Amino acid sequence: MTIHLSGQTALITGATGELGRVIARTLAECGADIAVHYHSNADKAAELCAEIEGMGRRALAVQADVSNAQSVAAMRAAIEEKLGAPTIVVLNAVSKYDWKPVLEQPLKDFEDQFRSCVAQTVLVTQAFVPAMVARGSGRILGISSEAALQCYTLHSAYAAGKRGMDGVLRCLAREVGPHGVTVNQIAPGWVVTDKDREAGKESHPGYESAVPLRRRGADTDIAHAVTFLASEQAGFITGAFLPVCGGNVMVGI
């Protein structure tokens, strides 16, 4: 089976991040044109666009605060003008903060994660899904985390944000399914990225010992799952929450 995304346009939020870059490259390798969203790293966005254009694909770097409605609307206008309406949207952007116990975590961090995960999901889908509905097809893909299921110590704000995102996307899957739009989530484990490779820190025995496959996955494992769910081969899959973590978490039935 070969995945072809020719004629598709994908928006990846947080595309300049460690995982976002690999997702963008992989979708482009399969034929999609790419809207490279970034918040502050304009140089990395330009570098990624040049790489994608080198593959023969179209690419556009677009800055936005995905938790702000006006900023998202401006991003939509820029993408539609240059690339057309996206047929694939990957919700990958997430903000960073210092993780602390619940009793010590400032409320502002919970609010930040709500805006990063939930508000982003609401605003971006409100901006881009109507065109998918009108067309009768589309793919929404949320990047969650195994942490949303583990709920370990220090994870409270992050887990709360990802669980809120999960609720929005499950409801959306029911609402837009009749229009041919699928909505799915991928939950990565602690995967190896270029940052780890450059630092020589691919292995972490303490983490790997609890993973049934006894290793960390790679950023490409996540990108491959995203690409499959974005493809026509996944046209009858919606509302799914897919852990890609070597079995470290398993969704119950």
Q: Report the DSSP pairing between strands 181-188 and 241-244.
A: parallel
Q: Biggest alpha carbon distance in the chain?
A: 51
* Measured distance between the N- and C-terminal CA atoms of the chain, rounded to whole angstroms: 29
Cα-only R_g, the chain: 17
Is 0.85 surpassed by the pTM of this model?
yes
Report which residue type is found at 230.
A
Residue 252 is predicted with a pLDDT of 84
Interatomic CA distance for residues 4 and 43, integer angstroms = 29
For the chain, the domains span 9-244
Interatomic CA distance for residues 188 and 180, integer angstroms = 26
CATH H-level superfamily of 9-244? NAD(P)-binding Rossmann-like Domain (3.40.50.720)
CB 123 within 8 A of CB 171: no
Number of alpha carbons in the 13 Å side-chain half-sphere of residue 33: 15
In the chain, the DSSP E strands lie at: 9-12, 33-38, 59-63, 88-91, 138-143, 181-188, 241-244
**What is the set of active-site residues?**
158
Q: Which residue has the tokens 């995905």?
A: 66
pLDDT digit of tens for each residue in the chain (253 aa)? 899 999 999 999 999 999 999 999 999 999 999 999 999 999 999 999 999 999 999 999 999 999 999 999 999 999 999 999 999 999 999 999 999 999 999 999 999 999 999 999 999 999 999 999 999 999 999 999 999 999 999 999 999 999 999 999 999 999 999 999 999 999 999 999 999 899 888 889 999 999 999 999 999 999 999 999 999 999 999 999 999 999 999 998 8
